[in-house]
Structure 1
Amino acid sequence: MIDLLLPLRVTASRSGRCWSGCWCRPKRRRSGGRGSYPEGRLITTLAGFAVRNMSACARTYVTLCIYGSDADTMNRMADEIKMSPTRTSNKNGLLGWFFDTKELDSVDVADHLDLLLRELEAYGVDMKKIKEMGCWYRTYCFWSSVSGNGGPALGPKQMAALASLDMELHFDLWFDPPEEE
């Protein structure tokens, strides 16, 4: 997300100078396809200027994890939540129900949280009721950096929605070091 409302002329420079006038060079794609700067998408700001959204994120997704200790509790939870999980697990007697947003084509963690929150709202899920059944839950955000720096950002909208659901948010951050030149 770009909060820049200045009249900037953005150009894609492969010769060395970027739009800000510095001499940085664009990142080259590493073998395997990971670690390159995305070309970005054209965004029109409120002032009507077009800028490229150059995200520091290579990949992100959100997973809602719900855990329970017995099958009866998890069956009652599944009847209440009505959403289809993307996967389930049973490890050492701990049962898990998971819904992730890996299929969403976005490198903005807020988009992934918005999708999860819309799904919970669409199905009328009451997370406090899930907790009262004896389940516990967390939301995990996987976020991988393109260049070894940067980080995810949440807006007040996502934070308020998570707080209203009494939902913990955990981040799994990956920072690949920049390439040696």
Structure 2
Amino acid sequence: MYAVPPVPCKRTYAILRIYPGDLDPTEVTQRLGLEPTLCQWQGKLRHPGKPVHIASLNGWFLSSKDAVDSSDSRQHIDWILQQLAPRAKALRELQTMGARTDLFCFWESIDGRSGPVLSPQQMQKIADLQLDCGYEVLVRSGR
């Protein structure tokens, strides 16, 4: 499936993040026809039951964390891209309305070396969807 073998990691996941401005996150759900993993509303608690943090922005999030059982970050990204493929037009409409959208990935090293990999096909699909792609990479040495 991929030209390069997977880079082993301790854990990884990907999140589609949509910050729709003044648009209510439930409207994002309706427009995409896709249930989010999490929503936040400006001025409300971000995560009820967790330490108090008031959301400064409306947000709509779709995470691969509990949907994909793999330590290959490319599979997590593919899952997000598969969810978006039939909804590309709706995503573009949200972007045209001013929604900020990106793909954010988390990757934690096993041995303090290496890093995540994207395939050329994934890079093309991410670009076609006009998504920025960011990573949080944790690399801890055994020292």
Q: Shorter chain as normaliser: what TM range?
A: 0.7 to 0.9
**2:40 counterpart (49, 66, 89):** 89
Q: In 2 relative to 1, CA 168–85 (structure 1 residues): closer, same or farther, beyond 3 Å?
A: same
2:139 corresponding residue in structure 1: 175
CA distance in 2, matches of 1:61, 1:54: 14
Q: In 2 relative to 1, CA 71–177 (structure 1 residues): closer, same or farther, beyond 3 Å?
A: same
Which structure has the greater CA radius of gyration? 1
Does the alignment pair 1:154 with 2:105? no
How far 1:75 moved relative to its partner?
4.1
Unaligned runs of 5+ in 1: 5-52
Q: How do 1:113-124 residues align onto structure 2 when only pairs under 5 Å count?
A: 113-122=77-86, 124=87
Amino acid across the alignment from 2:84: L
Same amino acid, percent of matched pairs: 30
Unaligned runs of 5+ in 2: 44-55
Q: Deviations over 1:83-141 (max 9, x none)?
A: 1000111244411100000021111111111111111124x232221111221111100
Structure with the largest fraction of helix: 2
- SS of the equivalent of 2:98 reads coil
Task: State the TM-score, normalized to the length of structure 2.
Answer: 0.79
Q: In 2 relative to 1, CA 134–78 (structure 1 residues): closer, same or farther, beyond 3 Å?
A: farther
Q: How many residues align?
A: 129
2:21 corresponding residue in structure 1: 69
How far 1:177 moved relative to its partner?
1.3
- SS of the equivalent of 2:115 reads coil
**1:139 counterpart (99, 103, 106):** 103
1:163 corresponding residue in structure 2: 127
Amino acid across the alignment from 1:87: L
Q: In 2 relative to 1, CA 113–177 (structure 1 residues): closer, same or farther, beyond 3 Å?
A: same
Contact 1:56–1:149 (8 Å) recurs in 2: no
How far 1:69 moved relative to its partner?
2.7
Task: State the TM-score, normalized to the length of structure 1.
Answer: 0.64
Q: How do 1:7-26 residues align onto structure 2 when only pairs under 5 Å count?
A: none
2:10 corresponding residue in structure 1: 58
Q: Deviations over 1:141-164 (max 9, x none)?
A: 000000111100111110000010
